[in-house]
Amino acid sequence: MITRVTTQMSMAAASARLQAGAAKVAQLTDQATTLKNISRPSDDPIGTGTSMQVRKEQAANAQYARNADDAVGWLATTDSTLTSVYSVLTNIRDLTVQAANSGTMSDTDRDAFVTEFRSLKSDLEARANATYGTRSVFAGASTASAAYDPATGFATSGTAVSRRLGDDATVRVDTPGAAVFGSGSSSVFAVIDSIVSDLQNGVNVNPRLNDVDGALDTVRAAQADVGVRHATALSAQDSLKTASVALEGRRSDVEDKDLAKAVLDLQVQQTNYQAALAVTAKVLQPTLMDYLR
């Protein structure tokens, strides 16, 4: 069967082509204005799927970056606190050496030593309650207002406090206070009390140097552990920043339109559309029958 092509069919086909051309001009105009490849999913279904996946990865990366920033801040605070604790313990050691080598002391000298030791103990107690934001760095997951209470010791830390830095990477940010300052009769606070008691009772404090040295070694070990975790958090922080740049590049490749290309595509499409209008007007000339309808 042979289908006869009528003028009406030709005009309908030409009209459809012109409408498609006009729609393309409108789409490219919108892209040149917004510099976006995708205004609605139908513009590029595959690109839309890719864009959604990239944005999902960006959201996860942003959360990991916030976690890394928090971990870096927490561990930096802990490291700084441990440095000051070590400094106070060094002063306590020096003071203990002085007291041990002072021979027979007068009551005034003894009281002066006792006052200094108690002052240094107060400094250590303040550092034991160091905070990062509203959290005690030595209290773990405990919600206690202070990590250390002279009457009860350190608050129970509960579970470890960790920050997730990636799909399969976490870093612990808290440091148990008892692991730094000791607990019970072996704590640095008990050692200072023992030194004070020996001074008040006229006992040579030289043997207490071993206890102070042990406390110094414990703090040094804790600081080394915190340093390793801090380095891990810093490394993750840098990696996440690099990943953020890469993900933004991927998103831009899918969603964003280059200005020069957008303008060129629009000009080409406008030229094609104007040419199609001109050709259609020439080919589909009105006949006498069009006027008689």
End-to-end CA distance of the chain: 29
Question: Which pLDDT score is estimated for 291?
Answer: 47
Higher pLDDT among residues 16 and 242, named by residue: 242
Higher pLDDT among residues 264 and 2, named by residue: 264
Query: 157: pLDDT confidence band, cut at 50, 70 and 90?
Result: low
Q: Where are the chain's structural domains? A: 54-251, 257-293
Alpha-carbon gap, residue 144 to 20, rounded angstroms: 69
| pLDDT tens digits for range 51-76 | 889 889 999 999 999 999 999 999 99
Can you tell me the mean pLDDT for 236-250? 92
Query: 105: pLDDT confidence band, cut at 50, 70 and 90?
Result: confident
Quick one: tokens of 147?
């990590």
Does the structure show a pLDDT above 90 at 79?
Answer: yes
Contact at 8 Å (CB) between 166 and 236? Answer: yes
Question: Which pLDDT score is estimated for 288?
Answer: 47
Which are the contacts of 44, defined by CB distance < 8 A and separation ≥ 6? 37, 38
Query: 194: pLDDT confidence band, cut at 50, 70 and 90?
Result: very high
Quick one: tokens of 74?
């927490």
Q: Which CATH number fits domain 54-251: 1.20.1330.10, 3.60.20.10, 3.40.50.740, 3.40.30.160?
A: 1.20.1330.10
SS3 170: strand
Give the CB-side neighbour count of residue 159, counting CA atoms within 13 A: 3
Question: Which pLDDT score is estimated for 259?
Answer: 54
Can you tell me the mean pLDDT for 225-254? 91
Does the structure show a pLDDT above 50 at 85?
Answer: yes
Dihedral of CA 267/269/272/273: which sign? negative
Q: What mean pLDDT value characterizes the chain? A: 81
Question: Which pLDDT score is estimated for 144?
Answer: 76
Higher pLDDT among residues 151 and 97, named by residue: 97
Higher pLDDT among residues 42 and 92, named by residue: 92
| pLDDT tens digits for range 215-231 | 999 999 999 999 999 99
E strand or H helix at 150, and its extent? none
Closest residue by Cα to residue 24 from 281, 280, 274: 274
Query: 139: pLDDT confidence band, cut at 50, 70 and 90?
Result: confident
Question: Which pLDDT score is estimated for 1?
Answer: 45
Helix pair angle (259-283, 7-34), 10° resolution: 160
Contact at 8 Å (CB) between 181 and 124? Answer: yes
Closest residue by Cα to residue 175 from 99, 88, 79: 79
SS3 130: coil
Quick one: tokens of 226?
């915190």
Q: What are phi and psi of 164, to 5 degrees?
A: -85, 125
Alpha-carbon gap, residue 37 to 254, rounded angstroms: 7
Which are the contacts of 38, defined by CB distance < 8 A and separation ≥ 6? 44, 47, 48, 51, 254, 255
Alpha-carbon gap, residue 29 to 24, rounded angstroms: 8
Which are the contacts of 50, defined by CB distance < 8 A and separation ≥ 6? 254
Higher pLDDT among residues 67 and 4, named by residue: 67
Neighbours of 48 (CB within 10 A): 17
Question: Which pLDDT score is estimated for 153?
Answer: 84
Can you tell me the mean pLDDT for 36-51? 76
Does the structure show a pLDDT above 60 at 21?
Answer: no
Alpha-carbon gap, residue 79 to 77, rounded angstroms: 5
Could you please report the per-residue DSSP string of 87-99? HHHHHHHHHHHHH
Angstrom CA distances, 292 to 54, 286, 288, stand at 61, 11, 6
Question: Which pLDDT score is estimated for 14?
Answer: 59
Query: 6: pLDDT confidence band, cut at 50, 70 and 90?
Result: low
